[in-house]
């Protein structure tokens, strides 16, 4: 359990490092100087955010040791020219933008250890080039109108997403993809389709991911349609982290996650509890993705909190983020009918903080934490009650 806290602490430290870089204009640990090429040629729809994106990348580069060469000249894709760059950014490119010779040069660049960053419409590019489809991870399918969405950030350790809240609320154009990239990429963040209209990928809708491609690296964000995105601190820091990871300046795990789970199932689902300290601390606070809110029970034993997943799912992990008042002893229980309960895991010596518990997968619609012994004189108090499964 404490190892989970140490990982969380490392993620926080990395996030602070990146944010200080943006605010002060100076990296905490300066990277050695390097160059990136930003390519924004379009042969289809042209995004009016391209100039804002180039400007944002130049500002990030000035503050973080890299030089930006922006171009729409596909003739720059030669072996000799690409060799001077750590990263090539496809910034809202569309359509067929490279000829066969230029494609070969780019393939050789990646094979030799080069880096690719794709932003938004980079997935709406080169449909006839199968190698590029593998590099970007997934091709564009469709999108609804621009609207607000909750982005569920699954990886809060990778340098591009460590700074983000678990529930990142923002406004953008939200792509659907022809395939799910999870089979060959590490998914860092997903769109929560229950928070907007027009999604067609279901509960597992990746929007930010990364992967190793031979000796090279690839990072992609489906966000980045609007001009406002490039002035948003969280988005800019995400973009910076992706560039730095692709350039090899910071570590990050981007091995493929071939299985679609476990996926966070409990966020925003209906909850019930044995009691609440008062109306301010109701059980819904524990599944809202906001660590500034919490469920707190009355000051007695036993107490429980339960979440309804909406349908029977295969559940294999529960992550509890406790407030200072926590459960010393409790059970993780599952049920298909909210009447007959089975014990999936028993804790007898919890030390608070974050308890990240995995167990043999169980079929359940309802999952609850049943506390039998408080660690303090106060009630059970949970910032987050996260249930994962498929």
Query: Domain spans of the chain?
Result: 2-246, 263-389
CATH of domain 263-389: 2.60.120.260
**Model confidence pLDDT, tens digit, residues 20-29:** 444 333 344 6
242: nearest Cα among 196, 209, 282 = 209
Average pLDDT (147-156) is 94
Instruction: Give the residue-averaged pLDDT of 60-84.
Output: 97
| pLDDT band at residue 185 under the 50/70/90 scheme | very high
* Both structure tokens of 223: 């966000």
Beta strand ranges found along 323-380 (DSSP E): 327-335, 342-347, 354-374
Top-level CATH class of 2-246? alpha beta
Cβ partners under 8 Å of residue 91, min gap 6: 38, 39, 40, 50, 53, 54, 57, 119, 122
How much is the pLDDT for 278? 95
3-class secondary-structure state, position 374: strand
The residues, any chain, with a CB within 8 Å of residue 66's CB and separated by 6 or more, are 31, 33, 34, 35, 36, 60, 86, 87, 243, 247
Average pLDDT value for residue range 361-377? 96
Tell me: pLDDT of 114 over 80: yes
- In this model, does residue 261 exceed pLDDT 90? no
pLDDT (0 to 100) of residue 326: 94
The residue behind tokens 């997934």 is 138
Mean pLDDT across 307-335: 93
Res. 291 pLDDT band, cuts 50 70 90: confident
**Residue closest to 40 by CA, chosen among 23, 28, 52, 32:** 52
Mean of pLDDT values over 365-386 = 95
How far apart (Å, rounded) are the C-alpha atoms in residues 312 and 331? 20
Tell me: pLDDT of 183 over 70: yes
Asked whether residue 330 carries a pLDDT value surpassing 70, the answer given is: yes
At residue 204, the pLDDT reads 87
Each residue's pLDDT tens digit, 304-319: 999 999 999 899 989 8
User: Could you tell me what percent of the chain has a pLDDT over 70?
Assistant: 91
Do the beta carbons of residue 197 and residue 96 sit within 8 Å?
Answer: no
Asked if residue 338 has pLDDT above 90, the reply is yes
Helix (H, G, I), strand (E, B) or coil at 303: strand
Contact 21/232 with Cβ under 8 angstroms? no
* CB within 8 Å of 102: residues ≥ 6 apart: 74, 75, 77, 78
Burial tier of 168 (Cβ tally within 10 Å: 0-12, 13-18, 19+): buried
For the chain, give the mean pLDDT: 90
Locate 211 and state its tokens: 């992967």
In this prediction, residue 56 carries a pLDDT of 98
Task: Show the tokens assigned to 344.
Answer: 């999936």
Distance CA 279, CA 213 (A): 51
pLDDT in tens, 12-54: 444 444 444 443 333 446 899 999 999 999 999 999 999 999 9
Asked whether the predicted pLDDT for residue 195 surpasses 60, the reply is yes
pLDDT at 258 over 90: no
């Amino acid at each position: 359990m404490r190892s989970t806290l140490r990982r969380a602490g490392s993620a926080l430290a990395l996030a602070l490092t990146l944010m200080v870089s943006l605010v002060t204009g100076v990296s905490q640990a300066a990277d050695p100087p390097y160059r990136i090429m930003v390519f924004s040629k379009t042969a289809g729809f042209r995004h009016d955010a391209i100039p804002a994106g180039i400007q944002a990348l130049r500002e990030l580069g000035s503050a973080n040791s890299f030089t930006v060469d922006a171009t729409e000249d596909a003739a720059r894709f030669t072996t000799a020219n690409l060799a001077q760059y750590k990263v090539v950014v496809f910034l809202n490119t569309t359509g067929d933008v490279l000829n066969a010779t230029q494609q070969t040069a780019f393939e050789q660049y990646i094979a030799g250890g080069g880096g690719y960053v794709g932003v938004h419409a980079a997935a709406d590019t080169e449909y006839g080039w199968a190698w590029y489809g593998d590099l970007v991870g997934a091709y564009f399918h469709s999108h609804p109108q621009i609207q607000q969405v909750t982005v569920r950030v699954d990886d809060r350790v990778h340098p591009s997403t460590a700074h983000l809240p678990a529930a990142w609320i923002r406004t953008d154009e939200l792509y659907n993809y022809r395939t799910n990239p999870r089979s060959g990429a590490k998914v860092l963040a997903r769109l929560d389709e229950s928070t907007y209209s027009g999604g067609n990928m279901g509960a597992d809708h990746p929007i930010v991911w990364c992967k190793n491609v031979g000796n090279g690296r690839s990072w992609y964000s489906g966000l980045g349609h609007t001009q406002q995105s490039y002035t948003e601190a969280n988005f800019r820091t995400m973009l910076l982290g992706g560039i730095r990871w692709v350039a090899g300046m910071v570590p990050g795990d981007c091995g493929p996650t071939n299985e679609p789970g476990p996926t966070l199932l409990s966020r925003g689902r209906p909850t019930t509890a044995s009691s609440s300290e008062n109306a301010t601390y109701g059980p819904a606070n524990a599944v809202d993705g906001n660590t500034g809110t919490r469920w707190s029970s009355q000051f007695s034993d036993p107490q429980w909190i339960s979440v309804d997943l909406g349908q029977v799912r295969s559940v294999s992990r529960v992550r509890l983020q406790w407030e200072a008042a926590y459960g010393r002893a409790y059970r993780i229980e599952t049920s298909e009918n909210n009447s007959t309960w089975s014990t999936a895991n028993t804790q007898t010596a919890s030390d608070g903080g974050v308890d990240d518990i995995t167990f043999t997968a169980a079929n359940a619609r309802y999952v609850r934490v049943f506390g039998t012994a408080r660690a303090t004189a106060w009630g059970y108090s949970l910032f987050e009650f996260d249930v994962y499964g498929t």
